[in-house]
């Protein structure tokens, strides 16, 4: 057999299309799977992720809902407990707070409160992050809040492979899984294997190997961090870039292995600095790898303000590659 014969065919597509393929495949594989949320049907989804799926699967499986996040999230929880495999789409993470009671007090607690008699095999997808000038009520990064809650898994796919494959794996989980899709990734293009399948949702990934400093991030900030790593390489600094992928549970082993090798770390998180996921990751490094560190841990987070509407202020409020470069150089004593 020739080498060409064993190579996997790839398809050029956007992140948005990768998520749509994941939805389509899930509904073809399992008749219990359906999608529900605001404007997912006739409108095709707020970010066009579900465009065309209503015509393909019909209104029983692509369900437009009233503008009531608490109501339709609760309906999804009930459907999951009754044997279905619902995918609930919350238009944006800010609006998910209207369903927080359902997520925290019901979905995340049913297994515990029922003595392991019942589970909630529910997947909730939502857009997160800033960069599209959608102002303060549509642009925050609150996934770190959800990573605080026992009883759920929290995922942040940053690549096409993860955008397609994480949903597959999440739907097999007996407990709730929340998937956060950064709004700035939907138009990102790349190549995806034609036979791409499920991915491991419990492990972080080393997206770039390095020896001098660990840059730890997730979601939309991954690509800015990789850009920063390239800029650092031009100055002779080899940064290792860790994509957390799963925010709950965190993959401590991959984080500590990287920090143990580089002995320095900067955490990049689009959430606010105070009480952030970056603070949790940093504290875990202190608890588990303090004696490996040669410098204080650095953080690059969003400014402590509601995300502004004007583009120049929005860009200034969230992590950008130059800020990451500066933080890395500060950790290396080269500021």
pLDDT tens digits for range 66-91: 999 999 999 999 999 999 999 999 99
Which residue among 17, 38, 69, 161 is the active-site one? 69
- What pLDDT sits at residue 8? 66
What whole-number distance in Å separates Cα of residue 249 and Cα of residue 20? 25
Which residue among 17, 38, 89, 138 is the active-site one? 138
Q: CB–CB of 204/243 below 8 Å?
A: yes
What whole-number distance in Å separates Cα of residue 226 and Cα of residue 321? 8
- What pLDDT sits at residue 6? 47
Contacts of 176 (CB under 8 A, 6+ apart): 80, 103, 107, 108, 120, 121, 122, 123, 124, 151, 152, 153
Query: Using CB atoms within 10 A of its CB, is residue 25 exposed (0-12), middle (13-18) or buried (19+)?
Result: middle
Kindly give the pairing relationship between strand 265-272 and strand 239-243: unpaired
pTM assigned to the model: 0.95
The structure tokens listed for 71 are 């109501």
Closest listed residue to residue 64, CA positions, set 91, 90, 38, 44: 38
Number of separate helices (H) and strands (E) present in the chain: 14, 14
Those residues of the chain that have pLDDT short of 50 are 1-6
What whole-number distance in Å separates Cα of residue 163 and Cα of residue 144? 19
Structural domains of the chain sorted by starting position, each given as residue range(s) with its CATH number in brackets: 12-193 (3.40.50.970), 205-331 (3.40.50.920)
The structure tokens listed for 328 are 């890395």
- What pLDDT sits at residue 335? 73
Q: CB–CB of 214/328 below 8 Å?
A: no
Instruction: Please confirm, yes or no, whether 69 is among the known catalytic residues.
Output: yes
pLDDT tens digits for range 146-167: 999 999 999 999 999 999 999 9
- What pLDDT sits at residue 26? 97
What whole-number distance in Å separates Cα of residue 87 and Cα of residue 267? 31
Q: Residue written as tokens 């942040």?
A: 156
């Amino acid at each position: 057999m020739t080498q060409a014969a064993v190579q996997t065919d790839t398809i050029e597509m956007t992140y948005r299309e990768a998520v749509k393929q994941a939805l389509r495949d899930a509904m073809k594989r399992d008749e219990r799977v359906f999608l529900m949320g605001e404007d997912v049907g006739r409108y095709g989804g707020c970010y066009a992720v579900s465009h065309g799926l209503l015509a393909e699967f019909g209104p029983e499986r692509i369900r437009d809902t009233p503008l009531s996040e608490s109501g339709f999230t609760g309906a999804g929880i009930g459907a999951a407990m009754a044997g279905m495999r619902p995918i609930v789409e919350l238009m944006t993470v800010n609006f998910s707070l209207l369903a927080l009671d359902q997520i925290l007090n019901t979905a995340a607690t049913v297994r515990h409160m029922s003595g392991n008699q019942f589970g909630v095999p529910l997947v909730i997808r939502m857009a997160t992050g800033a960069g599209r000038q959608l102002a303060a009520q549509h642009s925050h990064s609150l996934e770190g809040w959800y990573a605080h809650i026992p009883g759920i898994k929290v995922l942040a796919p940053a690549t096409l492979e993860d955008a397609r494959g994480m949903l597959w794996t999440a739907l097999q989980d007996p407990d709730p899984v929340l998937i956060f899709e950064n709004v700035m990734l939907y138009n990102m293009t790349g190549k995806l294997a034609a036979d791409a399948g499920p991915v491991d949702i419990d492990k972080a990934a080393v997206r770039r190997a390095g020896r001098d400093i660990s840059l730890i991030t997730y979601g939309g900030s991954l690509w800015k961090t990789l850009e920063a790593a390239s800029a650092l390489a031009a100055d002779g600094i080899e940064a290792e870039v860790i994509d957390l992928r799963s925010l709950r549970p965190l993959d401590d082993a991959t984080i500590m292995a990287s920090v143990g090798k580089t002995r320095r770390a900067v955490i990049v998180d689009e959430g606010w600095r105070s009480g952030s996921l970056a603070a949790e990751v940093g504290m875990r490094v202190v608890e588990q790898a303090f004696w490996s560190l040669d410098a204080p841990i650095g953080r690059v987070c969003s400014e402590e303000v509601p995300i502004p509407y004007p583009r120049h202020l929005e860009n200034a409020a969230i992590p950008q590659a130059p800020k990451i470069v500066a933080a890395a150089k500060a950790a290396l004593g080269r500021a």
